[in-house]
Amino acid sequence: MSVTDSDAQRAYDTLQAVITCYPEVAEVIVGRTSLQLLDESGVPATPNNPRNSQEAAKRGAVIGVGLGLAWTLFVMLSRRTVRRRNDIPRYINVKCLGEIPQVTLKKRSRKGKQVLNITDEKINGDFLESIRLIRNKIEYSAAKNHQKVVMVTSALAGEGKSTVAVNLALSMAQNGKRVVLMDCDLRNPSDREILRLPEGEGLYEVLKGEADIQDVLIDRKKLNFGKDMDFYFVPGGKAVADGSKLLDSGQMENIIEALKKAADYIILDSAPIGILTDAGILAQYADSAVCIVKKDYARVDSIMEGMEELADGHVHVIGGILNGV
């Protein structure tokens, strides 16, 4: 028989009361009963199960870490993203055209946002080589399939599609091709910044009827490129909340058709296809498409939804590019 209490004396008194009263109470139920005391415990001097805050803290920490690791593992397994080159054909079922390495830029407090541009003499050599390899594969596919208009898109914003689109167009021009780069992401036109150009009119103003395409077209001379680079740029112009209606117009189709007659390749920098309708509309003018996939960023199902939209537009997807930038 044992009694547990936070006060040792009270526990002892309770036990003694039970021993004294039990025979009388039990006689009504089981008959005459006698208790024989075999060992006198006395009043304990120390608790039988003292509190140990350090041990409890250690045990709680171990349990917490274990639960945290289990949750992290669950999230990693349930959130499928593209982490390696082999994941692109495995998850997205398209060819991997190459991988762009991560490039760390030095921060300069007095200068604007740092951008990657292959015309920069100090550009990272690995970045430059990766762009060239990807360019060769895209040019080979486009020539083989008689395609001129290549759309560059991604599933989500922030995957580096504009950086790839600009440098792909520049690399094609360096390779002796006549190239037109069009910033068709009217919601967030950013190609000007990558080319280090000031703000000004662009495709938005042309589609609104406020400017002519020849007025906004920027050639190699304005970009201070040499004669060996036959490069033209159509900036996005003013940013708008919804550019889908402007892109889905006869005016846009006429611009594309006119530029196709004068260029070897037209690179369309599109809005993300996984979250906006603009890319799906722009796809009707493209012969082929390239999807930029930032490493461990967009979920596979989001990328697949974008691929399905391109398939619905009957656009030939050349492949995906794994971007580690």
Q: Please enumerate in sequence order all residues whose Cβ is within 8 A of that of 294, keeping only pairs 6 or more positions apart, or say none.
A: 154, 156, 158, 159, 160, 323, 324, 325
Residue scoring higher pLDDT (111 or 225): 225
Instruction: Annotate 225-264 with b (16+ C-beta within 10 A) or e (fewer).
Output: beeebbbbbbbbbeebeebbebbbeeebeebbeebbeebb
| R_g over Cα of the chain | 35
Last residue of a domain, which of 30, 47, 75? 75
Output the average pLDDT for the chain. 87
Q: Is the dihedral of CA 194, 198, 199, 205 positive or negative?
A: negative
Q: Are 103 and 205 in a shared domain?
A: yes
Residue scoring higher pLDDT (201 or 78): 201
Residue 164 has pLDDT above 70, yes or no: yes
Q: Are 312 and 169 in a shared domain?
A: yes
Q: CB count, 10 Å around CB of 113?
A: 9
Average of per-residue pLDDT across 119-126: 91
Q: Please enumerate in sequence order all residues whose Cβ is within 8 A of that of 279, keeping only pairs 6 or more positions apart, or say none.
A: 151, 153, 270, 271, 272, 273, 306, 309
2 lies in some domain: no
Residue 109 has pLDDT above 50, yes or no: no
53 lies in some domain: yes
pLDDT exceeding 70 applies to what percent of the chain? 89
Average of per-residue pLDDT across 39-49: 69
91 lies in some domain: yes
Residue 225 has pLDDT above 70, yes or no: yes
1 lies in some domain: no
Alpha-carbon span 190 to 135, nearest angstrom? 21
Average of per-residue pLDDT across 164-192: 96
Q: Are 309 and 279 in a shared domain?
A: yes
Q: Are 30 and 103 in a shared domain?
A: no
Q: Are 115 and 180 in a shared domain?
A: yes
Tell me if 162 sits within 8 A of 185, measured CB to CB: yes
Q: Are 255 and 317 in a shared domain?
A: yes
pLDDT band at 29 (very low <50, low <70, confident <90, very high): confident
| pLDDT for 150 | 97
43 lies in some domain: yes
Q: Are 146 and 226 in a shared domain?
A: yes
Q: Are 45 and 88 in a shared domain?
A: no
Last residue of a domain, which of 32, 58, 75? 75
218 lies in some domain: yes
Tell me if 167 sits within 8 A of 116, measured CB to CB: yes
Q: Are strands 231-234 and 96-100 parallel, antiparallel or unpaired?
A: unpaired
Q: Please enumerate in sequence order all residues whose Cβ is within 8 A of that of 182, keeping only pairs 6 or more positions apart, or say none.
A: 203, 233, 234, 259, 266, 267, 268, 269
pLDDT band at 21 (very low <50, low <70, confident <90, very high): confident
What CATH number does the domain containing 213 carry? 3.40.50.300
Tell me if 321 sits within 8 A of 291, measured CB to CB: yes
Alpha-carbon span 145 to 139, nearest angstrom? 10
| pLDDT for 194 | 95
18 lies in some domain: yes
Helix (H) or strand (E) holding 216: helix 213-216
Last residue of a domain, which of 50, 75, 100? 75
Checking phi first, is residue 146 left (phi over 0); if not, alpha (psi -120 to 50) or beta?
left
Q: Are 99 and 18 in a shared domain?
A: no
Residue scoring higher pLDDT (179 or 32): 179
154 lies in some domain: yes
Amino acid sitting at position 99: E
Residue 108 has pLDDT above 70, yes or no: no
Q: Is the dihedral of CA 152, 156, 157, 158 positive or negative?
A: negative
Alpha-carbon span 187 to 73, nearest angstrom? 37
Alpha-carbon span 171 to 139, nearest angstrom? 11
Q: Are 31 and 164 in a shared domain?
A: no
For the segment 265-306, what is each residue's pLDDT rounded down to a tens digit?
999 999 999 777 888 999 999 999 999 999 999 999 999 998
Residue 49: give the domain boundaries: 8-75
Q: Are 173 and 34 in a shared domain?
A: no
**Looking at the 3D structure of the chain, how many domains does it have?**
2
Q: Are 159 and 294 in a shared domain?
A: yes
| pLDDT for 208 | 94
Average of per-residue pLDDT across 143-164: 95
Residue scoring higher pLDDT (41 or 161): 161
Checking phi first, is residue 176 left (phi over 0); if not, alpha (psi -120 to 50) or beta?
left
